[in-house]
Amino acid sequence: MMRPSSVCAGTFAFLVCGLVSAAVSAEEGVIEQPYDGFTVWVDCQRRGAVRFEYTATRDTGNLPRRSSFGPDPDFPAECQQTTGASYKTDGPRYDRGHLVPANHLDDRPKGIRQSNFMTNILPQAANMNYSLLYFVKGAQARVFHPDRLPMQVCPHCAGDLRDYGGYKAKMNPKGVNLSDVWWDIAPVRHAKYKRRNGANELPLKVLDRVIEMSTDEGDLVFDPFGGAGTTYMAAELKDRRWLGIEIGPTDDIVRRFSDNHSGQRILLDQRSSLNTLFTEQVRRIREKTGWWTCESVREKQSSKEERQLELEQM
């Protein structure tokens, strides 16, 4: 591991922008709203931003952010959300979070205050609060192996959370496509599970997925913000080479490497429940309770086809 001396010494700035939804821009009813340091485009009818843009610069500020969202007095009230409370859903809980992060605007009092306007809200899974930006060099990634995830089911009864109607037979037995929101990995919340105080530690499972998706064995993984060393541990366990930098103490990272068995178990556990529509345990419960499974749907489909054939031959 290298100790940094000149890393981040120069200024850096890059444009961060995103589309919250696929259908954007010239759409009618979308209002562009410039603020100090960022811009959002709000779909008035849906009362939500569909696009944002800001330039991330070197982190020099430390202004505190406000704890609650409030209306933008200079924006039509009927185009804004009316509460900062959690969304009401039957499934997982979604809080209202910042679209453009307040802490990227913490060098300007006006901008950080504006980031708490109702125009800058997006749904945020309550059990998940990290954002990853994905960039590739060139037109497409050299390596791209996204995981497929098991279908989301009711945690206790293993039943469907939504009605798939006639589409069950069309579902890929290898699982559902990885979406932009990774709901299946819980954050490292409790201090007792954190390796190093002060580092906002990512779960090993997140790094497992990132590394699996974007590298092959033997590739070099570089993380210049080591923290508790999660990236390095995941890279090590997944037979990638790695290079790291950490400006703070590195003892906890070094200590972490003296016991990589627990990490190995976490990754094995994670891998064994991916790339299948139902995990073994869920499939067993569903068979018992009579919920459809890939096998039962396939059986039903082939007897339907046989019957159709018989009818045609009559």
Ligand X SMILES: C[S@@+](CC[C@H](N)C(=O)[O-])C[C@H]1O[C@@H](n2cnc3c(N)ncnc32)[C@H](O)[C@@H]1O
- CA dihedral of residues 271, 274, 278, 284 (deg, nearest 10): 0
- Give bridge partners of residue 19 from the DSSP assignment: 51
**With respect to ligand X, which residue has the nearer C-beta, 201 or 212?**
201
- Taking the complex as a whole, the smallest distance from the CB of residue 38 to ligand X amounts, in Å, to 22
Q: What residue ranges bind ligand X (CB under 6 A)? A: 4, 7-8, 199-202, 224-225, 227-231, 245-248
- 18 vs 224, beta carbon nearer ligand X: 224
Q: E strands of the chain, at which residues?
A: 13-19, 30-34, 38-43, 48-57, 94-98, 121-125, 148-149, 176-177, 220-223, 241-244
Q: Which residues pair with 17 in a beta bridge?
A: 53
> Least separation, in Å, of the C-beta of 297 and ligand X?
40
For ligand X, the closer CB: 71 or 248: 248
DSSP letter at 40 equals: E
Least Å from the CB of residue 62 to ligand X: 13
Q: In the complex with ligand X, which residue's Cβ is closer, 112 or 202?
A: 202
CB nearer ligand X, residue 43 or residue 212: 212
Residue nearest to ligand X (CB): 227
Q: How far is the CB of 256 from ligand X (least distance, A)?
A: 9
What is the full DSSP assignment across 234-268? HHHHTT-EEEEB-SS--HHHHHHTT--HHHHHHHH
Q: Do residues 233 and 260 touch, judged by C-beta distance below 8 A?
A: yes
- CB 197 → ligand X: shortest distance, Å? 10
**Closest to 34 in 3D by CA, of 117, 122, 132, 128:** 117
Q: Which is nearer to ligand X, 117 or 232 (CB)?
A: 232
**Cβ at position 210, least distance to ligand X in Å:** 10
Strand order of the β-sheet with 30-34 is 13-19, 48-57, 38-43, 30-34
At 129, is the secondary structure helix, strand, or coil? coil
Q: Which of 100, 121, 106 is nearest to 53 (CA)?
A: 100
Q: Which is nearer to ligand X, 231 or 293 (CB)?
A: 231
Minimum distance from CB of 140 to ligand X (Å)?
26
